[in-house]
Structure 1
Amino acid sequence: MRTALVKNIICILLSFTAAVSHGQQIHEVPDSVALAMKNQEVFKYANDPSFWEKEKPTGGSAFLRLVGALLESAALRWILYFILAAVLAYLSYQVIIANNLFIASRKRRKKDNEKFGDNDVPEDVDARIAAAIAAGEYRLAVRYYYLRTLGLLNEKDKIRLHAGSTNYDYIQQMREHSYVSDFRKLTDIYEYVWYGEFQPDRKQFETISSGFNQFNGNV
């Protein structure tokens, strides 16, 4: 509508200019006629200051305008706060659970190691191996298998058991023997199962125990 009014004004001005240029006589419009035209609906724009104001462009995308409108809602803000709090609570819970599992794992490992020292070979090691296998505790059975191997190597004067020695020390003591590589392999398996807390299944344990028995038979 505004565009049509502007066009009408331009046409009136052009007509007025053409009339002047051709020397036509311009009659004065009576006040009554001017007042009547002023009060007409079509000419109300002349007394409306907002008509002459330029329309402000709407900036931003439709998505941003939608987000802005949603954020103006107090109820929606509280919903967003609740969701954020729930996410933070869930993440905190996961961190706490992970830490508790780690602490429990360390306590369990410490308790297992307190049963016997790293280099202590129980006198009834064979009976302990059988009991662990019967209970399905294959990880513990691997532990006893390795201790029995250390005890056998100590009896054969291949190594010297010492409270301060490590598995690496025993590998170094075995470096002059031809089967040091086999012992190193068994040591790696033992450390992976015991210290890595790997739980072998029945088939895996049978393969591991076969390796220990074969090695012990060759010592």
Structure 2
Amino acid sequence: MSPRKIITLLFTGICIAMHVHAQEEDSAIITLDDITAEEAAEEATEEATAAEEDTTTVEIRDFNGQTRQERWLNAMWDKQKLGEWDEMANTRLSIRRVPAEAMDELHKMKALQYDQEEKEKNRSALMQRIGLWVLAHFSVIRNTFYILLGALLLLTIVLFIRKSDISLWPRARRSTAEETGEAAATGPQNYDTLAQAAIAAEDYRSAVRMRYLQALHILQMKALIVPGKDKTNMDFLRELSATAFHKPFANLTRHYEYIWYGKVPLNNGQFMQLDEQFAEFKKSLRS
């Protein structure tokens, strides 16, 4: 190939390359006429926002507890990624996990056990309310306590008297010897006669006395009691404690002492009921 053809080919290639480059520049050029007013406003707003973000400062606290103001470029809080702490940059966020041993120690610390403290506070408040209620009603509680104590003491005394067969009438001990002597002197054949005479005279107290003396005489004849000068009705009841006659005779003795020594008035109907009890007791002794 001749040198002339070579030069012609090179020149042609250069022309083609320059033409292609010119077309690319024409397609990339954007004139001011092509930019609308709205696009210009948006572009200006974005530039202002970027400028504001570039000048934003924040407060950063490091591990030593010190704080400092730093400028965050290019809105780094939107782009920042979690990772290990960078001592040089002092800006990277990091996650620190508490060791299991440290967590166990924290759980065991009483200062951090808030639930227990709350329960203790509630218990203390409840005790305070109870104490205030007791103080407000102290007089009522005290009077109630004394009443219950007195009732308990009275019940104890009554049970002791019933168990010991102690007579409530002092004259019973002084007159029992006279009764047993009179019972022996009168004789069993005269008890019914004297009782009928007292009933006719409406002297029911004397009639009850004759019935009781007759019961004592029958007990002596049955060898259930032993007469004695200083013995009382309670002594006779203790001698009968092991027999089936103790309970009915104790009932008759109580009525007799109330009526005779206590001088309790008695009408005909009341005497007839009591006379039936004496008759049943005598019948049980003779059976």
Q: Give the greater-gyration-radius structure (CA).
A: 2
TM-score (norm 2): 0.36
User: More relative contact order in 1 or in 2 (CA 8 Å, sep 6+)?
Assistant: 1
TM-score (norm 1): 0.46
